[in-house]
Amino acid sequence: MHSEVELSQEQVIIIGAGPCGLAAALELQAQGLNPLIIEKRNVVHSISQYPVYMQFFSSPELLEIGNVPFTTAHDKPSRLEALNYYRNVALRSGVRINAYETVNSIARNEQGFTLASIRRSGTPHTYHAKHVVIATGYFDHPNLLGIPGEETEKVSHFFQEAHPYTGMNVVIIGGSNSAIDAALELERVGAKVTIVYRGEDYSPSIKPWVLPLFKGKVAKERIHIRFQSRVLEITPTEVVIESAQGTDRITNDFVLALTGFHPDRKFLGQSGVTMEEEGYPTFNEETMETNVPGIYLAGVVASRHEANEIFIETGRFHGNKIAGHLLQKKQQA
């Protein structure tokens, strides 16, 4: 067993080094603070989880942080360009980042908060911080279906690239942009794709320049889509699907359950942050402060809608609100 050997005192700790966590750190840095970011994986880990060849919906200037220009070769930046951009911003800004360290708890104390963490080596660490910004995102907490077979190795809640699925029977659960994009990539490599979607028709959120291409693939039966349907069970060789016409089974090798994500409600709740009836954390939209004074939210964890990359466009400004509120508190002290 490892013994606790270190204790650190910080003014502001930011949990999460995604784009919005970085943006908050840069804004606080500009206000004369020296925040510490603690990230349980790598910088902008969520983007590294995106499909390898993904392009953002947003133009590069809408993804910029810290007044650092984001230049790209095309109208829409790629995943690789975004990784390069955010990594370079983090390195050049000099913001402090403890990567591969997991914060397990936040507890109030007389001076602010005590945070307990575990580093990659297994070494425990304790921090004291006057203020905490939770910028943890969603992407470690997929919305589970709760059906038999979901826990097997053939099921994934992430899609990164199509090549491993060449020639395979793949069922995609969901009808969002991520499902449509995955289906198109899979069809290109020779996978046999069936989308199972609860909706009566195509989702209105699908990118308008993609929908005609996708409908063309469906019309030619290169991709199959089942509306008003849901998966009841996943077996080693089949998927059981229920629709208005009844229940049937189709041959299956892999399932991509692209059903969205949700915030880490357990971690937020243990920190004292309450949840609204819709399942989202309580916070003040003007200051980003939660019901726990001194704990703030930044980024997609504060989204009241389905999480996707477009939220960077608004989440990158959360740091401005937090810094402004901290400055106001300092002046009133």
Out of 16-30, 122-136, 181-195, 308-322, least confident range? 308-322
- Rounded to an integer, the average pLDDT of 297-325 is 79
pLDDT band for 309, please (50, 70, 90 cuts). Answer: very low
pLDDT band for 305, please (50, 70, 90 cuts). Answer: low
- Rounded to an integer, the average pLDDT of 309-327 is 83
Choose which CATH entry (3.50.50.60, 3.40.309.10, 2.60.120.200, 3.40.50.1980) describes domain 7-141+261-332. Answer: 3.50.50.60
Intrachain domains 7-141+261-332 and 155-257 with the same fold: yes
- Rounded to an integer, the average pLDDT of 155-168 is 94
- Rounded to an integer, the average pLDDT of 240-269 is 90
What's the rounded Cα separation, in Å, for the pair 25 and 333? Answer: 23
Question: 155-257 belongs to which homologous superfamily?
Answer: FAD/NAD(P)-binding domain (3.50.50.60)
**How does strand 7-15 pair with strand 36-39?**
parallel
Residue 225's φ and ψ, nearest 5 degrees, are: -130, 135
Tens-digit pLDDT profile for residues 185-200: 999 999 999 999 999 9
Q: Where are the domains of the chain?
A: 7-141+261-332, 155-257
**DSSP states along 117-142:** EEETTS-EEEEEEEEEEE---STTSB
- Rounded to an integer, the average pLDDT of 304-309 is 53
User: Who contacts 284 (Cβ-Cβ below 8 Å, separation ≥6)?
Assistant: 290
**DSSP states along 236-278:** SSEEEEEETTEEEEEE-SEEEE---B---HHHHHHTT--B-TT
Residue 291's φ and ψ, nearest 5 degrees, are: -65, -15
Read off the DSSP letter of residue 61: G
Q: Beta-carbon neighbour count of residue 211 at 10 Å?
A: 15
What's the rounded Cα separation, in Å, for the pair 110 and 132? Answer: 14
pLDDT higher than 70, residue 323: yes
What's the rounded Cα separation, in Å, for the pair 71 and 220? Answer: 38
What's the rounded Cα separation, in Å, for the pair 162 and 301? Answer: 29
Looking at this protein, which amino acid is placed at residue 85? Y
Residue 309's φ and ψ, nearest 5 degrees, are: -65, -20
pLDDT higher than 50, residue 261: yes
